[in-house]
Amino acid sequence: MSAKARGGASRAWSRLWGLVRPSRPDDHPNASGRLGEYAAHQRQFGAAAAEREFPDVAEHLARGCALCSADLQATLALLASDV
Ligand SMILES: [Zn+2]
């Protein structure tokens, strides 16, 4: 196999992985449930307290992760409802 063919195969594998990999990699705090804990803490004690208690989650959210931001809003809405 030529170097050019190997590069093409590598790109094809990368594209395939991009299509089939889990949508939420392990580096998202929700993978470990910490986003839910963050939301509960925020609801009970306020945003500043949640940021102090879960600095890793706060930093992740500050980086602008749309997935976790949406999950946080949904979790806060759920916590605010009378379910
Ligand atoms: Zn995230």
Indicate the SS3 state at residue 54: coil
Cα separation of 28 and 63, whole Å?
Answer: 11
| 25 CA from centroid of ligand 1 (Å) | 8
Cα separation of 47 and 36, whole Å?
Answer: 13
Question: What percentage of the chain has pLDDT greater than the value 90?
Answer: 57
In this prediction, residue 68 has a pLDDT band, given cuts at 50, 70 and 90, of very high
| pLDDT tens track for 11-49 | 787 776 666 666 666 678 877 789 999 999 999 999 999
| 44 CA from centroid of ligand 1 (Å) | 22
pLDDT of amino acid 21: 61
Count of other CB atoms within 10 angstroms of residue 55? 11
Beta carbons of 69 and 62 less than 8 angstroms apart: no
pLDDT of amino acid 6: 72
Higher-pLDDT residue of 18 and 50 is 50
Cα separation of 49 and 26, whole Å?
Answer: 25
